[in-house]
Amino acid sequence: MLASRRVARLRARRQEASQARASTASRAAAYIRVSTEEQATTGHGLDAQERAVRAFAESQGYELIAVVSDPGVSGATAPASRPGFSRLTELASSGAYSVLLVWKFDRLARQIVYAVTAVQELAEQHGVVIRSVTEPIDTATPMGRTIFAVLAGMAEQERQAITERTWSGRREKAERGGFAGGMAPLGYERDRDGGLMPSAEADTVRSIFAMRAEGAKLQSIADRLNADGIPTKRGGTWRPSQVSYILDNPKYRGAVEYLFRMGGADVHVLRDGTHTPIIR
């Protein structure tokens, strides 16, 4: 089976993001955090951190695009579960900055495994390096990388084991034809085992394919769905691109397709699925 256009679009977006990061080498974002206890004992901890990172950014010639804070958040909380840090990840995924400034490395997390994991994910997935304003940690320099490597070595084994188990499990499930995660597409819902089963929205999917088979254009199909008051998967109005995404999704014909990334390499899985096809 040939790869669908969805995979080609994923690869194109990754290449575009890489090119965008190259053009934002002088842009930085800053992350500041203070726990409830620290707020009580130090008063304006966030203000002091912000002044420090702004002064550092100016001294280094960085364009500081955002200072994001997580006030009253414990350092024992994983960064990915914090609203402020999640926003930083979203900005990084759009290529908005390439350097993350922190007042101290422990602002990321008190637990070393959380801090190291956050830094490595930003680097591996978005090409972002970290600089500590008050410590010799700069993952863009040899000395900073050496210091960080010592810290990373303490957490790498645990992180690698977790990552490999998760990645291998999803890949094995996909290679067996199972649904390997993500939101169930329009027309399907999750069954008791985490797989896919047709839902009441399956008729909408069949209508889309039927209209296309009769020669209708993408815009015409979108207009018809909107006129009939049929919402999208997220409850919005239809656009041609959304119709195209439905038509290009191999799950509706009984196949599963995933593009996994591990160690910087892409693994494309496309095979017959174990779920019931909506379109035959």
Whether 171 is in a domain gets the answer no
pLDDT at 263: 66
pLDDT digits (tens, 9 = 90+) for 33-72: 988 666 545 545 888 899 999 999 999 999 999 999 988 8
Residue 12 one-letter amino acid: A
Neighbours of 193 (CB within 10 A): 10
The reply to whether 26 belongs to the active site is: no
Residue 260 has pLDDT above 90, yes or no: no
State phi, psi for 182 to the nearest 5 degrees. 95, 180
pLDDT at 64: 95
Name the domain boundary from 139, 162, 185.
162
Residue 206 one-letter amino acid: R
DSSP code string of 229-277: T---TTS----HHHHHHHHH-GGGGTEEEEEEEETTEEEEEEEE-SSPP
pLDDT digits (tens, 9 = 90+) for 152-183: 665 556 556 666 777 788 888 889 999 987 78
pTM of the model: 0.48
Residue 227 has pLDDT above 70, yes or no: yes
Identify the CA nearest to 69 among candidates 101, 96, 25.
Answer: 101
146 CB-near residues (< 8 Å, 6+ apart)? none
Rounded CA-CA distance 4/257 in Å is 8
Residue 92 sits in a domain whose CATH number is 3.40.50.1390
Whether 67 is in a domain gets the answer yes
Whether 118 is in a domain gets the answer yes
Name the domain boundary from 113, 139, 162.
162
Name the domain boundary from 127, 162, 197.
162
Q: Which of 35, 69, 98, 132 is catalytic?
A: 35
pLDDT digits (tens, 9 = 90+) for 183-199: 899 999 999 888 999 99
Expressed as residue numbers, the domain containing 139 is 5-162
Whether 279 is in a domain gets the answer no
Reduced to 3 states, what is the DSSP secondary structure of residue 70? strand
User: Are 46 and 113 within one domain?
Assistant: yes
